[in-house]
Structure 1
């Protein structure tokens, strides 16, 4: 099963201790390969959003890049989309329903039959992002960036995302059911979190492939 993992820094493998990248023995996309015959393509990028451009951090809008990613790696079996954290930053002033609508737009791009004329359309697994750890309130850079309203948005987002997945016949899971953001910065997975998320996603992939 060939799997493309399209996400942000928690897919890229950002280490909250020092900003480096976790190695292939730690990142959740690579860990998937321990649980099944998965060929994994990592398409994580720090700061990637679903819908928004950041003037200080350009080329991060998922809607603008997704079609190119799909065409680069086709054919493949499953597209995993784990995005939304960076759409919650304060400067975007976006509510959780609007963020989830961006996921709907990504699904529409991925399901466009004209992209797949010679190949089957891949299954799509949407993974709602992690909840923010309460410690984020004590991390000045993070709480200033995301704002206090982000905690509520993160709680609301999975229900809206799941509703669009149900509407468009996609698979869904909530990352917060399996892993927690670290107590270091309140946003990013630590090593234990990567391992826990990999187990949860692998189980879902095996279910999809059954």
Structure 2
């Protein structure tokens, strides 16, 4: 049975929309990676960390929020895997980082280059990475101050990230095509959105594998 590793932030972890900060709500039981793996019939390894970025240590949440080291740890802790999803970028859009779309695309490129490296591919006997563009954040609720201007910046950011991934022949799925963030906090997904996204990502991966097999 194939194994898939899902590497991401709070929306991969399954954090519920937050009415207060910090929140004492449990994470969604049927978060999108669980739904996806169920539809695929594959084994699942979850590596979702709330607050994780592509490349920024967080002065409030800690240096371990920088996903670059985390990706190495995840890929060397588990395996062999047959596929990897990376869904990051939401936290990189926080106002405190003042990152340009090009900064974020360059940081995302580091992750794909690690995944595609001869060392990591050999370690797992070959696996296919998939990049997921996360739902665009909005400045709402208790997280509003962190995401001032993020929604507008996300469009240019996702264009830059998509171009970078396609240049590396990595398939990209845009979560914005099927779900949007909660009106409660402008960042996290409601339970229904996790169901929708999990099914959509599974179908996307299956279609990409069929296409690859036909080539």
Q: TM-score, normalised by structure 1?
A: 0.91
Separation (CA, whole Å) in 2 of partners of 1:132 and 1:48: 15
Gap regions ≥5 residues in structure 2: 211-215
Q: Which of the residues 42, 45, 54 maps onto 2:49?
A: 45
Q: 2:102, 2:160 within 8 Å by CA — same for their partners in 1?
A: yes
Q: Which of the residues 106, 112, 116 maps onto 1:111?
A: 116
**1:132–1:116: structure 2 CA closer, same or farther, 3 Å change rule?**
closer
Alpha-carbon displacement from aligned partner over 1:72-98 (angstroms, at most 9, x marks no partner): 112111110000000011111101221
Tell me the matched-pair count.
204
Q: TM-score, normalised by structure 2?
A: 0.89
Q: Which of the residues 36, 40, 49 maps onto 1:36?
A: 40
Q: 1:130, 1:154 within 8 Å by CA — same for their partners in 2?
A: no
Q: 2:55, 2:66 within 8 Å by CA — same for their partners in 1?
A: yes
Q: Which of the residues 64, 69, 76 maps onto 2:74?
A: 69
Separation (CA, whole Å) in 2 of partners of 1:205 and 1:98: 27
Structure 1 residue runs of 4 or more that deviate by more than 6 Å after TM superposition: none
* 1:6-155 matches, cutoff 5 A: 6-17=7-18, 19=23, 20-24=25-29, 26-58=30-62, 59-133=64-138, 136-137=139-140, 139=141, 141-147=142-148, 149-155=149-155
Alpha-carbon displacement from aligned partner over 1:142-172 (angstroms, at most 9, x marks no partner): 221122x211111222211111111111110
1:176 alignment counterpart: 176
Q: CA RMSD in A?
A: 1.5
- What's the CA shift for 1:203? 0.6
